[in-house]
Amino acid sequence: MNAREAALQALCEVDQGTNLKLALGVIFERDELSEEDRALANEIAFGTLRHQEEIDQIIKETFVGDFNAADPVLKNILRLAVYQYLFLDRIPVYAVVNEAVKLGRSLKEKALINAVLRGVIRNKKVQSMREPQVWILRKILEAYPVEGERIIESFKERPTPYIRINRLKANAEIVEQKLKEMGIEFGPANWLEDFRKISRLGNLINNVLLKQGFISIHDEAQGMICRLVDPKPGERIVDLCSAPGSKATYMAELMNNHGLIVAGEVSSARLRLVVENAERLGLGIIKYLLADGRRYCLENFDKVLVDAPCTNSGVIAKRPEVKERVNKKVLARLTNLQYGLLTNAATFLRVGGSIVYSTCSILPRENEEIIERFLNENKNFELEPAKEFVPNADVYLKILPGFHGTDGVFAARLKRIK
């Protein structure tokens, strides 16, 4: 017996006049349920009973026939599912429907449960009851009607830590041996051979591996943005908003520490982080520029990375405070800043050079809409499909949180053609 079966049986016994607490107590004593299943059974049984009147009203809007006269087991299967849909946003919608259908006792009943619940889910009034109160989460659901629930669910999970191996200082075997000695579990990352997924950061923070520059703590999705830049040894590259330096240093590693990277940053304190990172990793090709990326001029660079300030809507698992700080006004201010940075950075390029615009936001207004506006107003640029440079990409590089255990990021690559 699982949690939903226990809750269903208990609710049916309540229909026969039994006290819910007593009914659940007997079930828990008779059947071996895990602590997790007991907690869920308690939550959905009591929750369903507390909200039974409004849940029944919702079901009646979809149910064909007299719901009051329906079979008691069927009624309670539907009630339990609707309660989970309305009040337990940690349970994905597909799981709510699938688990309810499993409780059906015949193919006909399973089909009926599926049809009624699909109708409830499509009900606009019911959807509005489920709508999150946090502004940015509502925007994510608007932008991703299919994936939105899964994305938001991922924000409640502990982020997966990644490390990046500095191949200028160490090979993978040495780093992996050190991780084993520290008792840190590790495995391959999704796409990039320089990265490893690890079980925890733990005492890695103060270990010589990190302090002496053999590794960096760097999310793999952020590393994919550097791969989209496709830095080559000897090239001249600008990293416009470089702090804390993860991308500038990774690009320098990919260039074998040969060429030039100008790391720009508007904050002296944050620029200091870039300096410290580069020194720790033994990288000498990075030069530093303290300035507002919208207000200086450079010429004839091969590539530019504009990793623009953003709402951080792709990294809410790491920065949960974003939910409280981002609103319509903040988004408008950021999109103005993003467009200003991109248009100025575009002047740095030689003809034939490329610019990569990226954010750790998944909102179209900060991403696709910025690129579309830029291309409309700058006919001397064209879009280079990201899939020609990195895996798991199409026209753009777009990685959604909740699908690969990484940050959510967006990036587009543009080429100056004249």
Active site residues: 360
Tell me how far apart the alpha carbons of residues 179 and 328 are, in angstroms, rounded to a whole number: 44
Per the document, the length of the chain is 418
Query: Would you say 414 and 348 are in contact if contact means Cβ atoms under 8 Å apart?
Result: no
Tracing tokens 């919608």 back to the chain, one arrives at 93
- The secondary structure of residue 304, as a DSSP letter, is E
Residue 122, exposed/middle/buried by CB under 10 A (0-12, 13-18, 19+)?
Answer: exposed
Residue 312 neighbours by CB under 8 Å, 6+ apart? 319, 322, 326, 360, 361
Q: Quote the CA–CA distance of 124 and 131 in Å, as a whole number.
A: 10
Is 197 exposed, middle or buried (CB count within 10 Å of its CB: 0-12, 13-18, 19+)?
Answer: middle
Q: Are 255 and 286 in contact (CB under 8 A)?
A: no
Distance (Å, rounded) from C-alpha 199 to C-alpha 201? 7
Residue 384: count of CB within 10 angstroms of its CB: 18
Helix (H, G, I), strand (E, B) or coil at 267: coil
